[in-house]
Amino acid sequence: MKAAVYYKTGLPDVLRYEEVPDPACAPDGVVIEVEAISIEGGDVGNRARGEMPKVPHIVGYQCGGTILEVGANVRDRMAGERVVAIMMHGSHAERAAVAANFTFAVPEGLAVEVAACVPIPFGTADDCLFEFGRLQKGETVLIQAGASGVGIAAVQLAKRAGATVIATAGSDEKLERLRDEFGVDHGVNYRAVRFVDAVREITKGRGCELVVDSVGGATLQGSLDCLGYRGRCITVGDTSRGGKQIDVASLAAGNRSLTGVFLGAETVFGAARVRPMIEGHLRDVASGALRVVIDRRFPLADAAAAHAHIESRNAFGRVVMIP
């Protein structure tokens, strides 16, 4: 099969489109003929600086397609079934081997390329807002990087829960789309104004009850500064690649809290809760109650260009690759 691989971490141009051996089907797993790959922030981060279990390495957390082969111990999946799958790595390929219990059936009528964009972004957004963020109706939430895949998912879920939503983005055009298409209450262009000052002005000095920060680095301290008394900040990922140096004293002064979220751990330790949650989001996307926005599609052979497009921060929504 063909795959996007790399022999060392680094910039997008480390990716090569090469022939590699087909993956083997484990007794508790399935092999999927990949039809769509949703590139996650973690994919880009791992390609840049992550661990490589073997060389060459195939990166990738999420893909959708049709099951080709089913392991001997698997009873709830069958060949020919359309699924979306999450995994530690391996999605950037024509075929992927994955544990069967990390696959989700694609609802009738939902395109595989859309389903491939749902589990990680919507699952992550849900956990950030509700399981760990404890968002309640009537509260104000700041969503950093509102035009990202997780950001757009979080905006929709927060609005549905009755929250007032403030979102940041790097252009007025993105903010206009977030307002017009998803009902964001207040948009902040972080390139034009200091977002902490803008949030304080919007909230009349009170601050937010919750902040969801997927940017990290220097932005994380600003997110903490946007919190009101007893506010909660969720840090998820680190797209800035700048680490997370914070002033801990700024938490204690306002009885604020900072929580790290990683959906991957919850899919293992909280599977009984996470699985039906993700299945519900797939159904809601299929029914039109929630939306996936695909910014651009690239051939898998152009994986380097796809990763570079994400790193340009020009995307609005998901970037998808097609084998």
**Can you read off the two tokens belonging to residue 141?**
């939430």
Do residue 125 and residue 40 come from a single domain? no
Do residue 32 and residue 157 come from a single domain? no
Task: Specify if 276 maps to a domain.
Answer: no
Domain limit, last residue, from 228, 246, 264: 264
Mean pLDDT within 148-163: 97
Do residue 192 and residue 82 come from a single domain? no
Mean pLDDT within 27-54: 95
Task: Specify if 202 maps to a domain.
Answer: yes
Predicted pLDDT at 239: 65
Confidence of residue 253 (pLDDT cuts 50, 70, 90): confident
Mean pLDDT within 270-287: 97
Task: Specify if 164 maps to a domain.
Answer: yes
Are 4 and 93 within 8 A, CB to CB? yes
Task: Specify if 274 maps to a domain.
Answer: no
pLDDT exceeds 90 at position 52: yes
pLDDT exceeds 60 at position 301: yes
Average of per-residue pLDDT values in the chain = 95
Domain that includes residue 192, residue range: 121-264
Do residue 128 and residue 250 come from a single domain? yes
Confidence of residue 217 (pLDDT cuts 50, 70, 90): confident
Predicted pLDDT at 238: 72
Give the domain CATH number at 189: 3.40.50.720
Predicted pLDDT at 244: 57
Do residue 102 and residue 212 come from a single domain? no
Task: Specify if 68 maps to a domain.
Answer: yes
Do residue 110 and residue 135 come from a single domain? no
Domain limit, last residue, from 217, 248, 264: 264
Do residue 136 and residue 251 come from a single domain? yes
Confidence of residue 274 (pLDDT cuts 50, 70, 90): very high
Predicted pLDDT at 249: 83
List pLDDT tens digits, range 28-37: 999 999 999 9
Mean pLDDT within 269-289: 97
Give the domain CATH number at 315: 3.90.180.10
pTM: 0.94
Confidence of residue 241 (pLDDT cuts 50, 70, 90): low
Predicted pLDDT at 126: 98
Mean pLDDT within 265-270: 95
Percent of residues, the chain, with pLDDT higher than 70: 98
Predicted pLDDT at 240: 55
Do residue 221 and residue 135 come from a single domain? yes
Do residue 83 and residue 170 come from a single domain? no
Do residue 136 and residue 260 come from a single domain? yes
Predicted pLDDT at 248: 83
Q: Please classify residue 226 by burial: count the beta carbons closer than 10 Å to its beta carbon, then call 0-12 exposed, 13-18 middle and 19+ buried.
A: buried
Short-list 264, 318, 323, CA closest to 114: 318
pLDDT exceeds 90 at position 297: yes
Do residue 180 and residue 245 come from a single domain? yes
Task: Specify if 278 maps to a domain.
Answer: no
Short-list 84, 144, 92, CA closest to 120: 84
pLDDT exceeds 90 at position 250: no
Greater confidence (136 vs 249) lies with 136
Predicted pLDDT at 78: 96
Domain count, the chain: 2
Please tell me the distance from the alpha carbon of residue 303 to that of residue 322, in angstroms, as a whole number: 10
pLDDT exceeds 70 at position 279: yes
pLDDT exceeds 70 at position 243: no
Strands 29-38 and 82-86: unpaired
Percent of residues, the chain, with pLDDT higher than 90: 93
Identify each DSSP E strand in the chain by its residue range: 2-5, 16-19, 29-38, 62-70, 82-86, 95-99, 103-105, 140-143, 164-169, 186-189, 208-213, 227-235, 257-260, 294-299, 318-322
Task: Specify if 178 maps to a domain.
Answer: yes
Predicted pLDDT at 100: 97
Please tell me the distance from the alpha carbon of residue 21 to that of residue 40, in angstroms, as a whole number: 24
Task: Specify if 238 maps to a domain.
Answer: yes
Confidence of residue 90 (pLDDT cuts 50, 70, 90): very high
Confidence of residue 302 (pLDDT cuts 50, 70, 90): very high
Do residue 126 and residue 107 come from a single domain? no
Confidence of residue 237 (pLDDT cuts 50, 70, 90): confident
